[in-house]
Amino acid sequence: MVEVRVKKRLPKFNLNVSFKSEGLVTVLFAPSGSGKSLTLNCVAGVVKPDSGHIEVNGKVFYSSEEGINLKPQHRRVGFLFQDFALFPHLNVWANVTYGCRRRELANELLKLLQIEHLKEKLPSQLSGGQKQRVALARALAAEPELLLLDEPFSALHAGLKEELHREILRIIREFSLPTLLVTHDIDEAFELGDQVVVMDGGKTLAQGEPREIYLSPGSKRVAEILGHRCFIEATVCEVNGNQTVVKTAGGKRIKCRKGPFKRGEKVLVSVLPFSVALNPAQETNRLELKVKEVKLRRGTTQVTALFEGREVELHLPPSLLPNKLLEPGRVATFYLSPQLLPVLKEEP
């Protein structure tokens, strides 16, 4: 369990973040400049908060109320940085064993991460993926009680990222090591996180399991941070146990995900790109949209269409191309899945 409640006032930035997570990997997800790295520095003991409480598995790192502020070396935290921060003049073995209590553990980690053959190499002789593994081995060799990952994959290409995602998850699970991961990559957050904490402007906006927080973001700002792009203004006309039914400005009734709404309430419907099917057999939630543009991108057919004068981005299987129904200028019929249509409170 990781609990963080900290406040820190800087000349041009105020941090006021709060979250508690039982998940093994907790992701801090936010735009750049939102205080993610500052939060990690507070947890690591590099920066002292003005007030708050930091606790990991029952061990209090910091408490302004109790007068506790453990030194960084007493917090037993492993820190993996974006630039890896390897000592350039030391070989792999010296880097990994720096501050290591048990040499046999260092040997085990080199084998586990498949870098044993690189022991005598200097960092300048390593690839990006090899540097990543060495930095991870060094962090784990200190036998940390908490692992902090500060955008460690951002400089790596997509294929290597996926490989290291699997590698790090395997290590974290094997060591049952609580981990805080900072990222602004939505795919990375959802692939690695057990819990996702959404931050903005130094504050915590939302927290939840990846799928749940993505499909029920609660507010437009959280939805935008998570990558939602198309919002349709509507009014709630019916609420039942499983769905919220809304009516758009053009009078179209759409069934959506359930939520805490009342009849007559003004809301926003987020149309997610993957919430649609083309030319459906279903009789409900059918929308006729005018196709504006069609592209094949990232293994999907990306369709830009118009609904009540607003652009909607839709992702369909690539096998649908070529397709006369998707020619620009034509009107095509789509089905919107209610469980993939979040409803959000209209914000002032």
Tokens at 153, concatenated: 């994959």
Tokens at 190, concatenated: 């959802």
Q: What is the pLDDT of residues 1-43, one digit of tens each?
A: 999 999 999 999 999 999 999 999 999 999 989 999 999 999 9
- Overall residue count recorded for the chain in this entry: 348
Q: Which of 286, 285, 240 is nearest to 261 (CA)?
A: 240
The whole-angstrom separation of Cα 318 and Cα 305 is 17
Q: What is the pLDDT of residues 276-331, one digit of tens each?
A: 888 667 778 888 899 999 988 877 889 999 998 889 999 988 777 778 888 899 99
- Residue type at 309 in one-letter notation: G
Instruction: Give the bridge partners for 310, in sequence order.
Output: 307
- Confidence (pLDDT) at 155: 63
Q: What is the pLDDT of residues 47-93, one digit of tens each?
A: 999 999 999 999 999 999 999 999 998 999 998 877 778 899 999 99
- Enumerate the domain spans of the chain: 2-222, 229-345
Cβ atoms 51, 6 nearer than 8 A:
yes
DSSP state, residue 346? P
Q: What is the pLDDT of residues 28-37, one digit of tens each?
A: 999 989 999 9
Q: What is the CATH number of domain 2-222?
A: 3.40.50.300
Q: At the top level of CATH, which class does the domain 229-345 belong to?
A: mainly beta
The pTM of the whole model exceeds 0.75 = yes
